[in-house]
Structure 1
Amino acid sequence: MDVARRNNIRVTGRADGPVVVLAHGFGCDQNMWRLVVPALANDYRVVLFDYVGSGRSDASAWTEDRYSSLDGYARDVVEVVEELDLRDVTFVGHSVSAMVGVLAAAAVPERFSRLVMVAPSPCYIDEDGYRGGFDAGDIDELLESLESNYLGWSAAMAPVIMGNPDRPELGEELTTSFCATDPDMARVFARTTFLSDSRDDLKSVAVPTLVLECAQDVIAPREVGAYVHAAIPGSRLVTLDATGHCPQLSAPEATAEAILGFVGAAR
């Protein structure tokens, strides 16, 4: 198995620096980190990759059985860090990848030393005593719309997810990214993402963790950030003065500054 080709691994930055692995969310790829990478690359070895079924990964390696659970994506992460024999990894996961990172760190704890969770959500559906941002009917409707007309759903939803209506180019970029994803693979990833409940996994986190939320985010409201922060003892919660679910695009300088401040302080 050629993991480097399968996951389109790219390594940049300082060759002998501490390792930062950047992981993208649903409908995206490693290009979503491009505005943050230069700030990290000065002092860190930065590893980027695409999950199988996203970006320039090897789509022939995709199977519905594997990628119908977050464990399949966590296996991608584990295989990437093992392929490069990475240690003392700071894993930066956006959106659903924040929880993928939790699973990967639990699987091979000897390889991970820090987690940065960017706009995380362990569960998207509201329950008594928990606000995920959506009720079950909302999620069912979202998935039905996505499955019946993925391109139309992408054009309608990407700008909402991105936020920042005064900067339409950001929503257009996310729409393009969504539309570049194979619809069948995207449908599976969407169901895996929006129907997941990883709240119990938070208790397994045993490394320094930064929870990075946006001031306004329709996908991961601030109640979710507070929940994740409370569930991980000793974690740090930082609220960016940013709108939308993708601060690495809408507020890259602030996002990079928060990551660097956390990683540097942890050393």
Structure 2
Amino acid sequence: MSAVTRNNVKVSGAGDRTMLFAHGFGCDQAMWRFVAPHFEQRFKVATMDHVGAGGSDLGAYDAEKYASLDGYATDIVDIGRELGIRNGIFVGHSVSAMIGVLASIKAPEIFGTLIMVGPSPRYIDDGDYLGGFGASDIDELLASFADNPLAWSAAMAPAIMGNADRPELGQELTQSFCRTDPQIALQFARATFTSDNRADLPRVTARTLILQCRDDIIAGEHVGAYVRDHVAGSTLVLLDATGHCPNLSAPAEVTRAIMEFV
């Protein structure tokens, strides 16, 4: 099966350059529905679901392949090659930001521009590096998810969304989390929250924009600054937004920042 079919890739718009939008943990391509269409007049726009999410082919899920983010990055490269992308723009939210980093290193000819929304190269604190979580926090998070995925989602999704005055946003994220197969979600969570991509950042050659929110419990402002400092020539923009999912909570801010960069 082709990667385009396996990953439920949808293509729209026109233009010489392609923008590929990738979603974060527990989500699917619908998370980009308020942002991606705004680029269809200038670019060919592609949205996708990681294997195990949304409308992807669940039968293609391989626990060994997707035990690390490298497996997801391989899919991105395969999609890029099947679509004939050259000097494209990769837009990745949350963990997909690092998946995009890995993909751009594997095949730098495919993506000349990286847009990272709420990126984190490592979630676990390590010496002077503050990822925001202790190792025991991540162990507890994974154990809690394994024990009761629905309860975990109901508790965590609103906190991750970070807009308590707009509970409908937290509810949407909760429902998205709950639609994902629990075993696949647990493995994706483990691959995400135990990853360490700090050494990959200096290897990025793509022109890079980092979009950061205030009060993001998953990737704080200091993490965004770390990414900026370790990706040569990158630009960091602090959005007028809070929480970890500005593609839902502040799509106009996200769209404006990307438009100005590309």
TM category, shorter: over 0.9
- Aligned residue number for residue 122 of structure 1: 121
Aligned to 2:27: 28
TM alignment of 1:153-232, pairs within 5 A: 153-232=152-231
After TM superposition, give the deviation of residue 4 of structure 1 in Å: 2.3
Corresponding residue for residue 135 of structure 2 = 136
- For structure 1, which segment, 156-165 or 17-26, has the greater mean C-alpha deviation from structure 2 after superposition? 17-26
Question: Which residue number in structure 2 is paired with residue 237 of structure 1?
Answer: 236
Paired amino acid for 1:174: L
User: Which structure 2 residue ranges, 5 or more long, are not aligned?
Assistant: none
- The residue type equivalent to 1:9 in the other structure is V
Q: Distance in 1 between matches of 2:214 and 2:73?
A: 28
1:4 corresponds to:
4
**What SS does the aligned partner of 2:21 have?**
strand
Could you list the per-position Cα deviations for residues 136-183 of structure 1 after superposition, in whole angstroms to 9, with x for gaps in the alignment?
111111010011111111111000100100000000000010000000
Which amino acid in 2 is paired with 1:8?
N
Superposition misfits of 4+ residues, deviation over 3 angstroms: none
Count of residue correspondences: 262
Secondary structure class of the residue paired with 1:110: coil
Partner of 2:13: 13
Q: What's the offset of the Cα at 1:128? A: 1.6
TM-score normalised per structure 1: 0.96
Q: Distance in 1 between matches of 2:232 and 2:48?
A: 29
2: CA distance, partners of 1:227 / 1:76: 27
Query: TM-score normalized by structure 2?
Result: 0.98
Q: CA shift at 1:107, angstroms?
A: 0.7
Q: Distance in 2 between matches of 1:65 and 1:89?
A: 29
Contact kept in structure 1, 2:13 and 2:39, CA below 8 Å: yes
2:92 aligned counterpart, secondary structure = strand
Unpaired runs of 5+ residues, structure 1, are none
Give 1:112 deviation, angstroms.
1.2
CA distance in 2, matches of 1:137, 1:146: 14
2:35 maps to amino acid: V
Q: State the 1:38 CA deviation.
A: 2.3
- Specify the code of the residue in structure 2 equivalent to 1:3: A
Q: 1:35-114, aligned counterparts within 5 Å?
A: 35-114=34-113
Amino acid at match of 2:99: V
1:197 Cα deviation (Å)?
0.5
Instruction: Give the residue type in structure 2 aligned to 1:240.
Output: L
Contact 2:17 2:85 in 1 (8 A): no
Letter in 1 for 2:2: D
